[in-house]
Structures are given as structure tokens and as C-alpha cells.
């Protein structure tokens, strides 16, 4: 009897050891502050919790301030899924083959823009007038918040390092809007999705600014998975995202974030970003 009990206890112990990595460890899903206004972080938690319920697996949101922090975690597979910006996707695809999962569709399209903004009372009306002025970038790896304005300078035949009088980093698009609104800097380049959200939410900072230039469309910031994610899990995750707008709970969460649905996107949607990166490859150090 004692022998049988000991054997049973041993079997339970090893089952626990073997199955904990599969069922006990939460799937870690990364979110960077850069891709969202701070007041929508709660909605990302709701999305992540929703996805966890749909795939019947514990999930955990991992929140980081910068793109670089999230990129490092993806490379080390310390997070398995992440909401990231378009330019980091291009870099991570090249460097360690991160995989596209889905992307949001907003107003029927999976694209977004860079908005060049100034204070509403500014005398600056076109981008070349920023020469010798102050400018805030969102993040060193941001597409709309840094890559695009540097590309504009390059196309003007100007030196990207000498064009502005002074530059700084805000580490969030909504903070960039605030700095322009308070006249701390002359201008900024910001994510259209975040700026439009701020306008919709009647942000006092957005009210103090105006858009003087809108970029061509870029592939929208996607949801990605690391290449080590099991194919069956990847399929389950993708289906959960793609079906999210089809039930009342998922639809309500998406509506709070101005998202119509999640859709499949092609890697080629990000080729215009690759083109800008290639043009600036020797000027982004």
C-alpha cells in the first residue's frame, strides 16, 4: 500500500514537471508604450485576456517603454507574441525572422500615416521651414516618429544630422503632441492612428496643434510571433484575432480602440519602409 502510494505520488510529481511548461506557464504577449496612448494600455490588456480565453491558455501582458526593449525580448523569445511598430517589424524580420501574425484594420484599411505637426499658431507651413528649428522624435526605431522625417530631409538633399537646430526623444507619440502643444519644440512627426485617437478623445494637446503634412500610407503596425512558436499555437492565435470582431465582447474591445477588426497582411505591405531604410542606411547611426 505504501509502495503504491509512493509510486502514485512520484507519477503525479513528474506529470506536474512535464506539463507545467505546456499548460502552466503563461503565453507572454508584449506591448510597447510607443504604439498606443497610455490610456489605451488597459484595452490591450482586454485584448490579451480575450485571446487567452479563446485559445484556452493563460496569458500575460509584458509592457515596455521603448521599441528596442521589446525587440530584445522578441529576439530572446522572452515574449512569444507582440504588438510592434512597422519599422521594428522590418528590422526584426531581417535580423531574426520574426513572423507576421495579423494586423488591425482601421476604417477599412490596414495602413497608417506619419503626421507632421506644429502648434496651431506656428508660422511653419511646409516641412522645409523646419530647417534650423527644434523637433521631437518619438523613438530611435519609430517609422512615423523618426524614419519618415529623416527620409524627407534626405529627399531634399539636406544633411539629416544638421537640418534641425535641436532634436529630442519623447518616447511616446502622445508625448510628442504634448511637447508641440506646449511650444517646447517647434514640431514633431507622429503616428496618425494615435493622433486621430487623441482628436477623437478631445485631447487638449491635440487641439493646440495642426497637421501640415501627411505621409503616403505605410503598412500598419502588426502583431507578430517569434519563429519558435509552435505552428498549432500560431494557427490558434491567428484565428482568435481574425474572429475577434465577430462576437459582442471582442467587438466592444475593438471599438474602444478604433479598430474594425484584425486581418491577414502581406510582408510586402512594409516594402515602402524598407525603401526608406535602405535610402538612410548610412545615416541612422
- Residue 191 has φ and ψ, to the nearest 5°, of -70, 125
What is the number of other CB atoms lying within 10 angstroms of the CB of residue 4?
Answer: 8
Same domain, 135 and 210: yes
Same domain, 41 and 104: yes
Same domain, 74 and 196: no
Domain membership of residue 139 (yes or no) is yes
d(CA 119, CA 209): 4
CATH number for the domain that contains residue 141: 3.40.190.10
Give residue 223's pLDDT.
97
Nearest C-alpha neighbor of 139 from the set 95, 173, 103, 99:
173
Q: Please, what sign has the CA dihedral across residues 259, 262, 268, 274?
A: positive
Domain membership of residue 4 (yes or no) is no
* Rounded average pLDDT over 201-225: 97
Same domain, 89 and 32: yes
Among 30-44, 89-103, 194-208, 256-270, the range scoring the smallest mean pLDDT is 30-44
Give residue 39's pLDDT.
61
Give residue 42's pLDDT.
81
Contact 37, 193 (CB under 8 A): no
d(CA 167, CA 135): 5
Would you give the DSSP letter of residue 256? H
Give residue 35's pLDDT.
60
Same domain, 120 and 207: yes
Look at the chain and report how many structural domains it folds into.
2
Same domain, 199 and 127: yes
Domain membership of residue 246 (yes or no) is yes
What range does the domain containing 232 cover?
A: 25-109+220-268
Among 12-16, 120-124, 239-243, the range scoring the smallest mean pLDDT is 12-16
For residue 102, pLDDT over 90 is answered with yes
Beta-bridge mates of residue 83: 31, 223
Nearest C-alpha neighbor of 79 from the set 106, 60, 53:
60
d(CA 285, CA 231): 36
pTM for the structure as a whole: 0.86
Amino acid at each position: 500500500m505504501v509502495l503504491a502510494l509512493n509510486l502514485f505520488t512520484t507519477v503525479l510529481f513528474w506529470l506536474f514537471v512535464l506539463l507545467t511548461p505546456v499548460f502552466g506557464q503563461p503565453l507572454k504577449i508584449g506591448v510597447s508604450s510607443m504604439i498606443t496612448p497610455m490610456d489605451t494600455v488597459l484595452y490591450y490588456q482586454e485584448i490579451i485576456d480575450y485571446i487567452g480565453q479563446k485559445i484556452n491558455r493563460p496569458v500575460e501582458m509584458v509592457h515596455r517603454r521603448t521599441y528596442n526593449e521589446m525587440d530584445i525580448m522578441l529576439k530572446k523569445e522572452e515574449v512569444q507574441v507582440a504588438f510592434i511598430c512597422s519599422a521594428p517589424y522590418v528590422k526584426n524580420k531581417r535580423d531574426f525572422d520574426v513572423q507576421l501574425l495579423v494586423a488591425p484594420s482601421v476604417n477599412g484599411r490596414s495602413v497608417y500615416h506619419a503626421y507632421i505637426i506644429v502648434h496651431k499658431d506656428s508660422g511653419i507651413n511646409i516641412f522645409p521651414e523646419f530647417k534650423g528649428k527644434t523637433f521631437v522624435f518619438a523613438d530611435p526605431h519609430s517609422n512615423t516618429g523618426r524614419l519618415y522625417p529623416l527620409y524627407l530631409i534626405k529627399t531634399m538633399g539636406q544633411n539629416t544630422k544638421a537640418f534641425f537646430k535641436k532634436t529630442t526623444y519623447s518616447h511616446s507619440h502622445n508625448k510628442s503632441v504634448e511637447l508641440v502643444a506646449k511650444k517646447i519644440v517647434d514640431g514633431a512627426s507622429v503616428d496618425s492612428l494615435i493622433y486621430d485617437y487623441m482628436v477623437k478623445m478631445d485631447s487638449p494637446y491635440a487641439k493646440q496643434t495642426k497637421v501640415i503634412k501627411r505621409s503616403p500610407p505605410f503598412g500598419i503596425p502588426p502583431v507578430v510571433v517569434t519563429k519558435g512558436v509552435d505552428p498549432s499555437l500560431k494557427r490558434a492565435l491567428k484565428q482568435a484575432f481574425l474572429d475577434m470582431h465577430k462576437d459582442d465582447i471582442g467587438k466592444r474591445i475593438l471599438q474602444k480602440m478604433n479598430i474594425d477588426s484584425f486581418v491577414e497582411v502581406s510582408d510586402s505591405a512594409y516594402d515602402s519602409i524598407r525603401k526608406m531604410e535602405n535610402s538612410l542606411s548610412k545615416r541612422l547611426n
